[in-house]
Structure 1
Amino acid sequence: MSFTAAAKVFILFGDPVAHSLSPVMQNAALQAAGIDGLYIPWRVQSTDLPTAFESIRRMENFGGANVTIPHKEQAFTLVDTLTPEAAAVGAINTVVSKDGRLLGANTDGPGFIRSLHEGADFLPRGKPVVILGAGGAARAVAVSLAGAGAAPIVIINRTAERAQSLTEFIHGTIGATALGLGLDDPRTPTSVRDCALVVNTTSVGLHPTDPSPIDPHLLQPGVVVYDLIYRPRETALLREAKRRGCRVVGGLGMLLYQGALAFELWTGIEPSEAAMRQALVTAVA
């Protein structure tokens, strides 16, 4: 990989970011497209995110940015304009520079739906789903599933109030049937047992010693279990789900497809998904 002093700089904001494969993937896309640019991770705490966003406004060679855990909802408030998808979700994962102004976009939802269909041949319409977590990624997943006709949508979160807030947002925005529960709510086990899809949007599983975010004994054979975490490639949740006869999907596909959409927003060029996929496969291997 080579670049010049005039290279465009693309940034990943998050905390943590050391685990992310976005730099590997996006730098492969830049190289394949022949773009003079470099994609770098920037670990920044929530208290410093406004300052970080002000700094990119003043970067003449700013190419674009991604936003990951835990900043997606906060970043939503720091941009000048929003795409319709981002406005519907209430969180962003992509920042585009437009004439000195920052545009916030969200490519997580479309990337998730595409990877869900390809990885498990799952069509959400009329299917009961459970989403673990209530942060920015959960919002994108919930809105995309609601838009695809999933019902009911149950949000399960450690803090019940955040889960309920997200369900109210989904119902108010899309009109979908949704329920917010805490992990210790007596209705939680039944919701997991009766669903057709479980999606983990939390960070539980990033570390190899992390347990499953839910009791795996609740998972029924044939249920699709999707973990947005892609590193490690097999989390405790996916490992336990596979043992119980579930269909499992890791987060690598969503990472690829949301990243490809972000790249196109930044550059106006459709990236080489083959180059991006190969970079990801090599990195996780």
Structure 2
Amino acid sequence: MSKELDFKAEIVGVYGTPISDNPTGVMFEFAFKSLDINWRYLTLEVSEQNLKNAIDAIRALNFKGVNLTIPHKVAAMKYLDRISPDAEVIGAVNTIRHKNGKLIGENTDGKGFLKSLIDNGKVSPKNQNIVVLGAGGAARAITTELALAGAKQITVVNRTVTRGEELVDRLNKYTKTQAVFSHWHPNYAIPSDTTILVQATSIGLYPNIYEYPQINYESLKSSTVVCDVIPNPPNTKFLIKAKKRGCHTLDGLGMLVNQGVIAFEMWTGHEAPRSVMHEALTKVFKV
């Protein structure tokens, strides 16, 4: 059969709940179209109780892979055949690739954030004092990559003590960065020597666009680079408040595009059209 008469589409997608706010499919669909390849990206609502069945379906339906978002990045690991070494250290996966009948867990979140920080934020994490709000899947990936890139100290700020201390213990075990835990209370003051602040929770994610992390914003210095991992909306209340303090800010679109580029190339074997993917998202959000 000639290529022109091959009607089979290759399927990838994203699992999460809630999922309707997730814009990842927009950039993938634009990328597939720009390269004229017959691939489709499905945005799929998958509950926690149905996660195992959904992962089994990757094999049954011969999906090439899926992304994972809240709340599946940690729970999915036990249903996979293999975890990449870096994702093992992170303790979370955000991407699954299906190869020769095996499901392999990868983590592209931290790498995507790091590239965005360096390329768009114009700052290297090397020898920096960094504060990260949150200790979930995104925070695990980001702190690991920051540590491996030479961060001097990473302070993990989290409301659940056990979860925050677990992440700090993991960082101190697997990396050379000094990691410390700080309990998150509503008027938490950002330490004065902080050079990079990362908001790595879901606070402010659509539809809760008027919410923002409860910290002492008066403690923010204008010299601090302030980052939010949330892509929808890109200009979160958190970033708006940081801008008012004179801080250089970095939204979540760069991280989303960069991690998507890595997944795209893992799945398709094609070089990802990065500029097309970024443009697709900027059009959607009118930024």
Which blocks of at least 5 consecutive residues in structure 2 are unaligned?
Answer: none
Q: What aligned pairs does 1:125-144 form with structure 2 within 5 A after superposition?
A: 125-144=126-145
RMSD: 1.7
The structural deviation recorded for 1:193 is 3.2
Q: Secondary structure at the match of 2:103?
A: strand
Shift in CA distance, 117/193, structure 1 to aligned 2, threshold 3 Å: same
**Structure 1 segments of 4 or more deviating over 4 A?**
none
Please list the CA deviations of residues 230-280 of structure 1 after superposition, one character each: whole Å capped at 9, or x if unmatched. 111211110010000111000100100100000000011111112111111
Q: Output the CA distance in 2 between the equivalents of 1:30 and 1:64.
A: 15
Q: For 2:37, what is the secondary structure of its paired residue?
A: coil
The match for 2:47 is: 45
SS at match of 1:193: coil
Provide structure 1 residue ranges, at least 5 long, that are not aligned to the other structure.
none
- Conserved? CA contact 1:213–1:237, under 8 Å: no
Shift of the alpha carbon at 1:281? 1.0
TM-aligned CA deviation for residue 213 of structure 1: 4.0
Q: 1:7 aligns with which of 6, 9, 21?
A: 9
TM-score by structure 1 length?
0.94
TM-score w.r.t. structure 2 length? 0.93
Stretch moving more, 4-13 or 269-278:
4-13
Residues 122-167 of structure 1 show CA distances to partners (whole Å, capped at 9, x for unaligned) of: 1111111000110110000000010111121000111122111100
Corresponding residue for 2:172?
171
Deviations 1:66-111 (A, max 9, x none): 0112211112222111222212211111111111110111111111
Cα deviation, 1:156-204, whole Å, max 9, x if unaligned, reads 1111221111000111111321111221299x52x53331111011000
- Identical columns (%): 36
Report the equivalent of 1:197.
196
Q: How does 1:1-150 map to 2 (within 5 A)?
A: 6-60=8-62, 62-150=63-151
1:160 alignment partner in structure 2: 161
Aligned position for 1:230: 231
List per-residue Cα deviations over 1:195-239 (Å, max 9, x = no partner): 111101100011222133423222111100000011112111100
Provide the rounded CA distance (Å) in 2 between the counterparts of 1:96 and 1:167.
28
